[in-house]
């Protein structure tokens, strides 16, 4: 895993979200982060699995931004979420 690339990707996403939120023509923006433990993306209809029927998630994904390649600094849920929301490594 290239940590420098991961950090730059996260910073890029944060900058885009802040820039998007500063648009004065739209009053309210909502950001919903959905994290699911132990779910493979390729086992959802929205990500192309032909045999899976997940209508609510498929509808939601059609009007959302999907992350194709996500990376984590640690493969354990609690510290991974702490890193996601603080931008810090789990050791910090």
Give the start-to-end residue ranges of the domains of the chain. Answer: 3-69
The string of DSSP codes covering 69-80 is S---SSSSHHHH
Q: What's the pLDDT at 66?
A: 74
CB environment 3-27: b (16+ within 10 A), e (fewer): eeeeeeeeeeeeeeeeeeeeeeeee
Model pTM greater than 0.85?
Answer: no
The pLDDT tens digits for 43-75 are 788 778 888 877 887 888 888 877 777 788 998
């Amino acid at each position: 895993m290239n940590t420098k690339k991961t950090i730059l990707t996260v910073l890029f996403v944060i900058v885009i979200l802040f820039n998007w939120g500063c648009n004065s023509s739209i009053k309210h923006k909502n950001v919903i982060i959905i994290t699911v433990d132990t779910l493979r993306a390729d086992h959802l209809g929205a990500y192309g699995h032909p045999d899976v029927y997940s209508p609510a998630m498929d509808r939601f994904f059609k009007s959302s931004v999907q992350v194709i390649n996500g990376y984590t600094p640690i493969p354990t849920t609690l510290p991974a979420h702490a890193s996601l929301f603080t931008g810090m490594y789990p050791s910090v």
